[in-house]
Amino acid sequence: MNIMNLTLVAVHIEPSTRAVPLGPAMLASTLKRRLPDLVTPVILDLFLEETPEDQRARILETRPDAVGISLFVWNRRRALELARLLKQERPELTVFLGGPEATADTDRLLAEPSVDFVIPGEGEDAVARIVPLLAEEMDKEKIRKMLSRPEPPDLEELPSPYLDGTLDPGAYPGLLWELSRGCPFHCDFCFESRGTPGVRRFPMDRIRRELDRFRQRDVRQVFVLDPTFNYQAPRAKEILRLLIEKGDDIQYTMEIRAEFLDEEMAELFSMLDCTLQIGLQSADPAVLKNIHRKLDPERFREKIFLLHEAGVPYGFDLIYGLPGDDPEGFARSLDFALDMAPNHVDLFPLSILPGTKLSETAATFGLEYLRHPPYTVLSTPGFGQEGMPRAGRLARACDFFYNRGKAVPWFGFLYESLERSPAAFMETFANWLEKKHGVVTEDVLEGISPAGVVERQRRFLEERIPCRRNDPKAARVASDIVACFGFSALLSEGESLSGDGDESDTGKDFCRVRLSHDPRELMERIDMGITDIGGLSRILPEEEREWIFHLEDGEVMVRPADD
């Protein structure tokens, strides 16, 4: 019997630290262990920026007998287009789908004429069962009928693609690291808990050996795949101690729940280079009840304060368009989130994903949404036709000003000085952006350089603060604060210092900035705890002058440009 060539395809959004074909690699590792004499698996990384025709050519260059494509919300259209193009070129080629989107929407995908069959659920056992049947040229319709939701594999028996050579950890700018499967919660908007019930965890011995391998290959960034890393506190602390002992030179991103935090865990997180992502979704308990989530706002604050005290970076997720919510409620949730000074806040429109509980109850809540990817909600009784665009506009302004603008260190005392809530501040900024740029789309904002973000923050404050306080001196102080923090952050993080229409002169590791105050004295006062803009404007002498911000031995230094 000839050895079968199986090409397993991952279609990523773009090259990034998370563009790792872990799903296909898990299948390939399983096949190499169980069927080494029957199949040769090939893993192929593709990206949405490539044309479907070029991607078809790359797949066919591997001379496949069968092609499996991992399906997600973001690549569904492209994957189906690829299947169609592959069948046009080679009608006899077997094309099948797997992954989260294939599991959630199996029946509709099976109706696609270019798809031979779909593997739902966790695919390792299923693909090992199907490959011999394909090698025997079994009728594909019979294979379809055999594939129902399989029993989940024993995680202790699955081989690691990082340990068996299937994936070279050093070949990627970052890694996905799977520590568990399943979710203990049943949020209506999420499919995670509707896949396999309960939580199963990979053995600690495997985790230790994978971490050793990461260190050997000088891995610098890891995204931990565990939807609630700290759900089981003893195991979470055991893993954190392991990371501190063996992997403290790696940067980790983890998803956690605030309610499971304690002081010891926060301290362990603080010993790592890590960022924690926390799914807040809404600050309104009544809204969260509609999607089977709970929140005690004061208890949540107390838990987050543990991270704040320990100096652990954290971010929040917020969703707009939830059933029972409205634009005013979403604004209050944004106020609640930003008042805790997260390192970033990610704001998303609600998507009604196939297979979720919310896809079954959407009509009950009066949710109108796209029936194709990305399944975004278009209107709700609370948001209406204008409500969702209004919330999206606020979300884009917040991402631009707060996240990209690296506003964490100074945003709190700035909006307090303006006597405005965070959401009202962002709404005003969104209005200002539209006056400057017209309709502000994500593409328009993404085209603005990092230095250009800082420049727009400064211009906005210089124009708006006098309107609010009738205090042009305070406006100049605020502008200088933004410049000091912003350009220092860009230099420290190696970001682009090239602006667009800015007044600053920039180079590879320096920038020349015109300020109204001595930045050294300004920052000294802030370090002393003087953060009221009006107070700073009264005690700081004004002298318009150019200053050089530059890196020296990894630290940002400041000196007068004419020195």
From 447, 445, 427, 463, select the one nearest 332 (Cα to Cα).
427
If you search the block for the tokens 């695919």, which residue do you land on? 123
* DSSP structure class, residue 268: H
3-class secondary structure, 345: strand
Asked if 500 and 469 touch (Cβ cutoff 8 Å), the reply is: no
What is the model's pLDDT at position 506? 52
pLDDT computed for residue 495 by the predictor: 76
Give the side-chain half-sphere CA count within 13 A for 123: 29
pLDDT at 414: 80
Residue 91: partners with Cβ closer than 8 Å, 6 or more residues away: none
Whether 353 and 372 have beta carbons less than 8 Å apart is answered as no
User: CA-CA distance, 50 to 99, in Å (whole number)?
Assistant: 21
Nearest to 353 by CA among 156, 118, 553, 101: 101
Instruction: Give CA torsion, residues 91, 150, 109, 388, to 10 deg.
Output: -150
CA 256 to chain centre: 14
The separation between the first and the last C-alpha atoms of the chain, rounded to the nearest angstrom, is: 79
> Which among 463, 507, 459, 511 has a CA at the least distance from the CA of 484?
511
Round to whole Å and give the CA distance between 222 and 246: 14
Is the separation of the CB atoms in 374 and 73 below 8 Å?
Answer: yes
Give residue 67's identity as a one-letter amino acid code.
Answer: V
Q: Where is 97: in which H helix or E strand?
A: strand 94-98
* Helix/strand/coil for 367: coil
Please name the amino acid found at residue 294.
K
Q: Are the C-beta atoms of 430 and 394 separated by less than 8 Å?
A: yes
In this predicted structure, what is the pLDDT of residue 503? 46
Helix, strand or coil for residue 86? helix
3-state helix, strand, coil in the chain (%, to 5): 45, 20, 35
Neighbours of 511 (CB within 10 A): 24
The string of DSSP letters for 406-450 reads: T-HHHHHHHHHHTT--HHHHHHHHHHHHHHHHSS--HHHHHTS-H
What is the helix (H) or strand (E) element at residue 67, kind and residue range? Answer: strand 66-70
Which residue from 180, 76, 160, 57 is spatially nearest to 118, judged by alpha carbons? 76
What is the side-by-side order of every strand in the sheet holding 175-178? 175-178, 221-225, 251-256, 273-281, 314-320, 344-349
- In terms of Cα–Cα distance, which of 194, 104, 96, 112 is closest to 146? 96
Q: What is the structure's pLDDT at 552?
A: 86
Strand, coil or helix: what is 314?
strand
State the chain's maximal CA–CA distance in angstroms: 86
Q: What is the pLDDT of residue 364?
A: 96
Distance (Å, whole) CA 448 – CA 501:
10
Helices (H), 311-380: 327-338, 357-365
For each successive 10 residues of the chain (563 residues), what is the average pLDDT? 90 95 98 96 97 98 97 95 97 95 92 95 94 89 81 94 97 97 92 77 97 96 96 97 93 97 98 97 97 96 97 98 97 96 96 94 96 95 93 95 94 78 93 84 87 93 76 90 94 74 56 93 93 89 92 89 82
Q: Where are the alpha helices (DSSP H) in 196-326?
A: 204-216, 233-246, 263-270, 285-289, 297-310
Write down the residue that tokens 């920038």 correspond to: 511
535: CB partners within 8 A, 6+ apart: none
What three-state secondary structure class fits 225?
Answer: strand
CA dihedral 172, 178, 179, 183 (to 10 degrees): 140
The secondary structure of 235-248, three-state, reads HHHHHHHHHHHHCC
Contact 28, 166 (CB under 8 A): yes
**Which letter, b or e, does each residue of 353-391 get, where b requires 16 or more Cβ atoms within 10 Å of its Cβ?**
bbbbbbbeebeebebebeeebebbbebbebbeeebbebb
The four Cα atoms 460, 461, 467, 473 give a dihedral, to 10 degrees, of -140
Q: Which residues pair with 97 in a beta bridge?
A: 69, 118
Of 274, 155, 161, residue with least CA distance to 209: 161
Sequence-distant contacts of 504-508: CB under 8 A, at least 24 apart: 504/451, 504/455, 506/451
